[in-house]
């Protein structure tokens, strides 16, 4: 009888213990799920943002997730009272959950998110100076920014849509896109050319600059500039605005052939392009749509096209070198 009673008591104890553990398991599972489903897209601001009505300067960071587990980063600051404090356009790649790494001027910078904030810091503490490069007056991008539920104050924020400076082989390009009078104006200003350094302008209304890169594609000792844009709307069709340096003296525009006009590569094409330099070639990648696919859900493979730079009759052009699918 004593043995039976002991078994019953033990069994009850185990049952009670298991019941006590269940809520903890559910809590842990919920916490894990919350961490995994953390929404990082949105706006983040410095502490002074809440005192902007009193004239305080502030910096904001806008984050947008991309399809390839990367994020685009746009840093803008107050510009209604003085010149902007900090400006940056960059792309970062996911390393671990809620941590992304960007390479800025050859240095690794980490963007770490939690439910209410974003922290920016160099991966190597010795590289802290790199985060001052994008700010004026001794400022730095380093620090913690709190998440802001609303859009950044449109009456104060810097209206620059995109800004980047690229240099190679003694030639520099200053790239800026700004919205004026309802139009998006891209300006490209070269420096270091021996003859012509005049600014070049493009009307890119209806498009957004995604990234810009510089590379000596034809190995002639002078660089090429490539600016990648994406159209607004569900299609998000990509385009490349490119320039090549002519013997260090001037620059000429490179012709980029539209995918829609090439029957060898346009089957199943509906936009959502990605571009990147791979050594001295330009790589373009996009999903392949099958008949009946919705714009948001392609079911085909991914097509990748590699372009090389060639001399044309009137100007240099990007020519399809290789096409692959996976």
Q: Is the pLDDT of residue 45 over 70?
A: yes
* Strands, sheet with 171-180, edge to edge from the N-terminal-most edge strand: 160-168, 171-180, 183-191, 200-203
Give the dihedral of Cα atoms 212, 121, 178, 205; nearest 10 deg.
Answer: 60
Give start-end residues of each CATH 2.40.128.460 domain in the chain: 160-325
CA dist 75 to 2, 17, 164, Å?
A: 74, 51, 12
Q: Is the pLDDT of residue 34 over 80?
A: no
DSSP secondary structure string for all residues of 196-253:
----EEEE-TTEEEEEEEEE-TT-SSS-EEEEEEEESSSS--EEEEEEEEETTTEEEE
pLDDT of residue 82: 87
Q: What is the pTM of this model?
A: 0.75
Q: What is the b/e burial string over 113-147, where b = at least 16 CB atoms within 10 angstroms of the residue's CB?
A: beeeebebbbeeeebeebbeebbeeebbbbeebeb
Residue range 42-148, CATH number? 2.40.128
Closest CA relative to residue 73, chosen from 114, 41, 121, 29: 41
Q: Is the pLDDT of residue 6 over 80?
A: no
Confidence of residue 181 (pLDDT cuts 50, 70, 90): confident
Polymer length in residues for the chain? 326
Cα Rg, the chain, nearest whole Å: 26
pLDDT of residue 36: 54
Of the candidate ranges 24-33, 51-60, 143-152, 306-315, the one whose mean pLDDT is the lowest? 24-33
pLDDT of residue 235: 79
Compute the distance between CA of residue 89 and CA of residue 84 in angstroms, rounded to an integer. 14
pLDDT of residue 112: 98
Of the candidate ranges 10-19, 54-63, 185-194, 290-299, the one whose mean pLDDT is the lowest? 10-19
For residues 56 and 48, the answer to whether their CB atoms sit within 8 Å is yes
CA dist 235 to 101, 229, 273, 287, 297, Å?
A: 28, 13, 9, 11, 12
Confidence of residue 132 (pLDDT cuts 50, 70, 90): very high
Residue range 261-276: mean pLDDT, rounded: 92
pLDDT of residue 28: 52
Residue range 130-135: mean pLDDT, rounded: 95
Residue range 160-325, CATH number? 2.40.128.460
pLDDT of residue 56: 95
For residues 213 and 194, the answer to whether their CB atoms sit within 8 Å is no
């Amino acid at each position: 009888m004593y043995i039976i009673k002991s078994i019953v008591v033990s069994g009850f104890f185990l049952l009670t213990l298991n019941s006590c553990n269940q809520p903890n398991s559910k809590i842990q599972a919920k916490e894990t799920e919350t961490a995994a489903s953390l929404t990082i897209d949105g706006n983040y601001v410095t502490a002074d943002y809440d005192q902007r009505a009193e004239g305080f300067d502030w910096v904001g960071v806008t984050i947008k997730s991309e399809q390839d587990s990367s994020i685009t980063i746009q840093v803008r600051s107050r510009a209604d009272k003085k010149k902007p404090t900090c400006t940056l356009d960059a792309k970062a790649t996911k390393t671990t959950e809620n941590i992304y790494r960007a390479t800025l001027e050859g240095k690794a910078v980490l963007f770490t998110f939690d439910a209410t904030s974003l922290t920016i810091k160099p991966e190597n503490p010795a590289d802290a100076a790199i985060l001052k490069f994008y700010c004026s007056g001794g400022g730095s991008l380093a620090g913690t920014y709190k998440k802001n539920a609303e859009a950044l104050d449109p009456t104060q924020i810097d209206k620059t849509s995109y800004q980047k400076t690229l240099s190679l082989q003694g030639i520099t390009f200053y790239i800026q896109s700004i919205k004026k009078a309802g139009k998006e104006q891209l300006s490209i200003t070269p420096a270091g050319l021996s003859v012509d350094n005049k600014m070049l302008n493009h009307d890119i209304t209806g498009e957004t600059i995604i990234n810009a890169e510089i590379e000596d594609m034809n190995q002639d000792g002078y660089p090429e500039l490539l600016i990648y844009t994406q159209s607004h709307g569900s299609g998000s069709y990509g385009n490349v605005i490119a320039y090549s340096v002519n013997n260090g003296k001037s620059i000429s525009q490179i012709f980029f052939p539209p995918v829609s006009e090439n029957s060898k590569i346009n089957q199943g094409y509906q936009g959502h392009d990605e571009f990147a330099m791979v050594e001295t070639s330009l790589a373009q990648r996009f999903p392949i749509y099958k008949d009946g696919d919705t714009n948001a859900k392609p079911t085909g493979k991914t097509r990748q096209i590699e372009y090389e730079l060639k001399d044309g009759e009137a100007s240099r052009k990007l020519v399809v070198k290789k096409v692959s699918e996976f």
